[in-house]
Structure 1
Amino acid sequence: MGGGCNFASDRELARRVLSVAPDMRLNALANRACLHRVIRMCLAAGVRQFLDVGCGIPTIGTPHEVAQQLVPSARVVYVDSEPIAVTHGELLLNRTPNAAIAQADLRDIDEVLAADRVRRLLDFQQPVAVLMFAVL
């Protein structure tokens, strides 16, 4: 997909996957385009908060970039259980208003909703779009 948020092991895995499934790159790009359309549709419907569960390491065209480009006050919380993804996300979001990342397991919705960063940034009295792209 491009971008610089990847590791040598990621690039090697991508090379191997593409050698047996050459359309996977197009699938990944289509998935990202769908995510962007969903965010734009939610914003058009008045949703201003997003909970991206199972986000992984941030890549190009992240939900907060897409949402905040159109509505600067939009709020996005990313959630992942993988410590490296969370640490990397914290570094990238350190100076980004209205965006944060929390460590929690998507299989435990109580843990996700109880995460401090989720509770601090999202107002569950208002609509929240839950994004779960490429987690299954």
Structure 2
Amino acid sequence: RHTLSRHKRQLEHVGPERSVCESISRWVMDRRTAIDSHWHNVTVLNKFPTKKGMLAQYFYETKCRGPDHRGARVEHGVAGAGCLGVDKKHWVSECQTKQSFVRAFTSDNVRGTGWRWIRIDSSCVCVLYSRNHKRRGTR
């Protein structure tokens, strides 16, 4: 009888940690419009009055870094491109900006002015599709 032995894989970290998708984060101070939780287009009020005076709204947004367009080679780990470190033999990958909801003081023609949940860019993720399964409605 022949037994196979399995050895635990050892990961050796060489160099600094690197993300599979590169992102950019910044404070957005001039947001004019947004999509609310009911899929309505609303106007975001940059400043609005409170009991203590005018209050300004700022949003911390994160999205996938765009390609540099400096060279002829294809960049990986940026918006719309394949993720870094993914086995291309088995997976199709893409870096995509995802959104989440935050509260904002907004106005629209139907419901007037008030606090609503709006969508903002909040992360850059790696989306994987198996090469072994056919994808519907995509490329």
After TM superposition, the score normalised by the length of structure 2 is: 0.21
TM-score, normalising length from structure 1?
Answer: 0.21
Which structure has greater strand proportion? 2
- Greater Rg, structure 1 or structure 2? 2
